[in-house]
Amino acid sequence: MAKSQILAIDAGGTMTDTFIIDETGDFVVGKAQTTPKDEHIGLINSAKDALNQWDAKIEEEFPNLLAGVYSGTAMLNRLVSRVGRRVGIVVNKGMEDNHRMGRGLQSFLGYSYSDRIHVNTHHFDPPLVPRKWTVGVTERVDLFGNVVIPLYEHEIEPAIQKLIEEDVEAIVISLLHSYKYPVHERRVRDIAEQIIKKANKDVKVFATVDYYPVRKESHRTNTTIVEAYAAEPSRKTLENIDTALREQGTNFDLRIMASHGGTISIKANELARTCVSGPIGGMVGAKYLAEQLGLKNVACSDIGGTSFDIGLITQGELSINTSPDMARLVLSLPLVSMDTTGAGTGSFVRIDPNYGNITLGPDSAGSRVGVCNPGGGIDTVTVSDCHVVLGLINPDNFIGGVIKLSKEKAYEAVKTQIADPLGLSVEDAAFGVIELLESQLRNYLESMILGKGYSPSQYVCFSYGGGGPLHTAGYTKGLGFENVLIPAWAAGFSAFGCGAADFEYRYDKTLDLNVAEKAEDTDILLAGRELQTAWDELKKKVTEEFKKNEYSPEDVDFRLLYRMQYQGQLNDLEIEAPIESFKSISDWESLIKTFEETYARVYAKAALSPELGYSITGAIVRGVVEVAKPQVPKEPLSSERPPQDAHLGYRTIYWNGEFLQANIYAMEKLLSGNRIKAFSILESTATTLVVPNGFEAYLDENRIFHLREVK
């Protein structure tokens, strides 16, 4: 028996997945219901489920673990639900209403097109920091970093005192253009900390230049507020998980999935970048798996209980968005580009009272599954109830039988709430819901790919998540993907991604370095020195973070990146530097050559415009420490015919207007090389793969199912 080495955790809104990897690279996937109030309970239950497959126990295996990686949605939920800390903010005098007004974009983020054009349907979320906890001090720095009005230090103490009297739990300092001239912000921070210490209060101070020294005032301010409002309280949750794991015998520093695609320590300074750690794990896992399989272009699709997450890997690279939006806030975080819609297997199904049509979500039953779960307390029909009615899910084998679902309750709920009002049979109503969901997901996936200038035929589609294999055939049908792949461990794929992620810190800094096409050598070298100074500053920050986990600079692989555009353009490109440091004119030429190669690939060679001159808009440093990673399974090929013991029998299901006898297979007992014909349902404790009429599935040597349409 091999010893466990890595524990990867994905605590989703519905299920908590654990992915345990042993010293040979083999792995098992465990699944349990998420326990939002005490996340460590669901985590431990999930780990027990995983280790049971190795006939092992937690007390035997946890002491062997060398590393643990967590991803989850608790921080994002805290932000969305607006249940964070009481935060005060110090801004420039005269700018006290800026945060309350927000960016115009925030007024319609998350709304459908119809709601965007009808103002009376808008709901404006309250600001994270109310006006009464906003104070101003006099100072002004212009966009070039020049001091126009000096800091009026005598105004700082009364401003901070006012916030202390309001009993705030954290204070954010955000002054205009401080990323260009940080002195004033840091002076306010130092004085504020002295006042707080004197008052004997436990209030942490967050200066934006210490966290996100980048342009775009609203983005930078929002992100630092999120750090104080939601991230810092979540640190306590992570510490509780770390404590619970140590009580079970572990002896590692818990890491958490970050938005840029690496993992960071729970002790990290900037914890807000872990806000959407769950879906990012799937994207990182897809990139790692694609590299192992030699695939360059992959469309990633992840269906869980609450959402459908999609993203693209193009030419082997994840796209990074440096100004994403989250919870209807614009932010300054490096985030792996993804699109999300609130359509999952737990989505509520209703009939619109005005139009009489079926609507899905965006709210969800989450971990309570649906009406079919007798102990869930759910009264509204969910997509999962429709699965049970149609016979696609085995009510006695949900999460390995931990929850016994009631087909009778699901049937009655669909009949009363959906079928009778529409004048349909219960089965037709349930099938219609599934068709509607898959049609929406198919349109969403296709529009994202086409909208980025590509075609589905250029991509392989990865389908994963607990609900992904149930719907893969439906939402990929007719799109013409090069191939459709479903890993046998699809249900724990985000946790797999956490296990495959590097231990990595990334820091960004805004620059404004403009260089003409035929600039003098002195101008080029001056710009190069500024770029190198920024890289050195960011390297120091990365080094400091790794020191918290006792890694020396020699242990870290530093990767330099830069953002560049032609002068006057609105959008820049993020590029890995082809040099180790900037020393000469030839280094500048290397930067230009790499930029223009990337530009020609993203836009077109005809779009190159060197006559405009070049702008370096940002410096980036990524520091990476290699960690143990899972091995993709490799098994000898067997015959195309599935083994007899994998066939569990037949089940009557309803599909497209008729009752059918579906073959039921135990997914874990299928062998590499097996080909499964329609209509078949492949069951495991964590997920269900449906092979409907018009499709067949082939299990390859890597235990990945290839789902293809049969003409």
Q: List the CATH number of the domain containing 569.
A: 3.30.1490
- Of 581 and 355, the structure prediction assigns the larger pLDDT to 581
Decide which of 187, 203, 230 is a domain's last residue: 230
Element (H, E) at 409: helix 407-414
Q: How high is the pLDDT of residue 556? A: 94
Show Cβ contacts of residue 149 under 8 Å, excluding neighbours closer than 6 positions.
138, 139, 140
Segment 313-336 shows an average pLDDT of 85
Q: How high is the pLDDT of residue 114? A: 66
Q: How high is the pLDDT of residue 141? A: 95
Is the pLDDT at 113 greater than 70, yes or no? no
Judge contact between 27 and 490, C-beta under 8 A.
no
Quick one: CA dihedral 255, 257, 262, 268, positive or negative? negative
Is residue 310 a part of any domain in this protein?
Answer: no
Segment 156-183 shows an average pLDDT of 95
Is residue 681 a part of any domain in this protein?
Answer: no
Kindly report, residue by residue over 303-322, the tens digit of the pLDDT: 877 778 889 998 888 888 88
This prediction's pTM:
0.83
> Same domain for 97 and 220?
yes
Is the pLDDT at 1 greater than 80, yes or no? no
**CATH number of domain containing 196:** 3.40.1360
User: Which phi and psi angles does 235 have, rounded to 5°?
Assistant: -60, -35
Question: Which span out of 237-241, 339-343, 461-465 was modeled with the highest average pLDDT?
Answer: 461-465
Is residue 470 a part of any domain in this protein?
Answer: no
Alpha helices in 127-276 (DSSP H): 156-165, 183-198, 208-211, 217-226, 232-247
Burial class (CB in 10 A: 0-12, 13-18, 19+), 649: exposed
Judge contact between 563 and 573, C-beta under 8 A.
yes
Q: How high is the pLDDT of residue 493? A: 85
Q: Give the chain's domain count.
A: 3
> Same domain for 92 and 178?
yes
> Same domain for 103 and 184?
yes
| 88 beta partners | 171
Decide which of 625, 655, 679 is a domain's last residue: 625
Segment 228-240 shows an average pLDDT of 87
- Of 114 and 663, the structure prediction assigns the larger pLDDT to 663
Q: 23 pLDDT band (50/70/90 cuts)?
A: confident
Element (H, E) at 629: none
Segment 655-671 shows an average pLDDT of 95
| Residue 630: alpha-carbon gap to chain centroid | 20
Q: How high is the pLDDT of residue 496? A: 84
Give the HSE-up count for residue 279: Cα atoms under 13 Å, Cβ half-sphere: 24
Kindly report, residue by residue over 125-141, the tens digit of the pLDDT: 788 999 999 999 999 99
Show Cβ contacts of residue 527 under 8 Å, excluding neighbours closer than 6 positions.
513, 514, 515, 588, 616
> Same domain for 405 and 544?
no
> Same domain for 106 and 206?
yes
Is residue 704 a part of any domain in this protein?
Answer: no
Is the pLDDT at 170 greater than 70, yes or no? yes
Residue whose C-alpha is closest to residue 50's, from 701, 686, 706: 686
Show Cβ contacts of residue 622 under 8 Å, excluding neighbours closer than 6 positions.
260, 262, 504, 505, 506, 542, 558, 559, 561
Kindly report, residue by residue over 397-445, the tens digit of the pLDDT: 776 666 788 999 999 999 999 999 999 999 999 999 999 999 999 999 9
Q: How high is the pLDDT of residue 299? A: 95
Alpha helices in 461-520 (DSSP H): 468-476, 493-500
Is residue 479 a part of any domain in this protein?
Answer: no
Residue whose C-alpha is closest to residue 281's, from 463, 8, 621: 8
Three-state DSSP state, 441: helix
Judge contact between 188 and 137, C-beta under 8 A.
yes
- Of 627 and 508, the structure prediction assigns the larger pLDDT to 508
Angle, nearest 10°, between helix axes 426-451 and 407-414? 80
> Same domain for 203 and 98?
yes
Q: 709 pLDDT band (50/70/90 cuts)?
A: very high
Judge contact between 335 and 260, C-beta under 8 A.
yes
Is residue 663 a part of any domain in this protein?
Answer: no
Is the pLDDT at 616 greater than 90, yes or no? yes
For residues 211 and 347, give the distance between their C-alpha atoms in angstroms, rounded to a whole number. 37
Element (H, E) at 19: strand 15-22
Q: 15 pLDDT band (50/70/90 cuts)?
A: confident
Kindly report, residue by residue over 85-111, the tens digit of the pLDDT: 999 999 999 999 988 888 877 877 767
> Same domain for 96 and 190?
yes
Segment 27-54 shows an average pLDDT of 85
The pLDDT > 90 percentage for the chain reads 56
> Same domain for 537 and 405?
no
Q: How high is the pLDDT of residue 638? A: 94
Is the pLDDT at 628 greater than 80, yes or no? no
Residue whose C-alpha is closest to residue 25's, from 703, 709, 562, 711: 703
Is residue 339 a part of any domain in this protein?
Answer: no
The pLDDT > 70 percentage for the chain reads 96
Segment 244-271 shows an average pLDDT of 88
Instruction: Indicate the range of 132-136, 400-404, 567-571, 697-701 predicted with least confidence.
Output: 400-404
Q: How many residues does the chain have?
A: 711
Angle 368-372-378 from CA coordinates, rounded to 5° = 45
> Same domain for 509 and 404?
no
For residues 360 and 325, give the distance between their C-alpha atoms in angstroms, rounded to a whole number. 23
Decide which of 416, 436, 456 is a domain's last residue: 436
> Same domain for 91 and 221?
yes
What's the 3-state SS for 69-103?
A: EEEECHHHHHHHCCCCCCEEEEEECCCCCHHHHCC
Is residue 536 a part of any domain in this protein?
Answer: yes
Judge contact between 573 and 595, C-beta under 8 A.
yes
Q: What is the CA radius of gyration of the chain?
A: 27
Segment 27-34 shows an average pLDDT of 81
Show Cβ contacts of residue 86 under 8 Å, excluding neighbours closer than 6 positions.
133, 166, 167, 168, 169, 170
For residues 40 and 238, give the distance between their C-alpha atoms in angstroms, rounded to a whole number. 9
Segment 496-516 shows an average pLDDT of 90
Q: How high is the pLDDT of residue 452? A: 80
Three-state DSSP state, 655: strand
Across the chain, mean pLDDT equals 89
Q: How high is the pLDDT of residue 400? A: 64
Q: How high is the pLDDT of residue 355? A: 81
Is the pLDDT at 26 greater than 90, yes or no? no
543: containing domain: 503-625
Q: Structure tokens of 140?
A: 């002004």
Is the pLDDT at 691 greater than 90, yes or no? yes
> Same domain for 518 and 431?
no
Report how far apart, in Å, the C-alpha atoms of 232 and of each of 85, 214, 611 are. Answer: 9, 21, 47
Tell me the residue ranges of DSSP E strands in 471-608.
483-487, 503-515, 557-566, 573-576
Is the pLDDT at 2 greater than 60, yes or no? no
Kindly report, residue by residue over 673-684, the tens digit of the pLDDT: 999 998 999 998
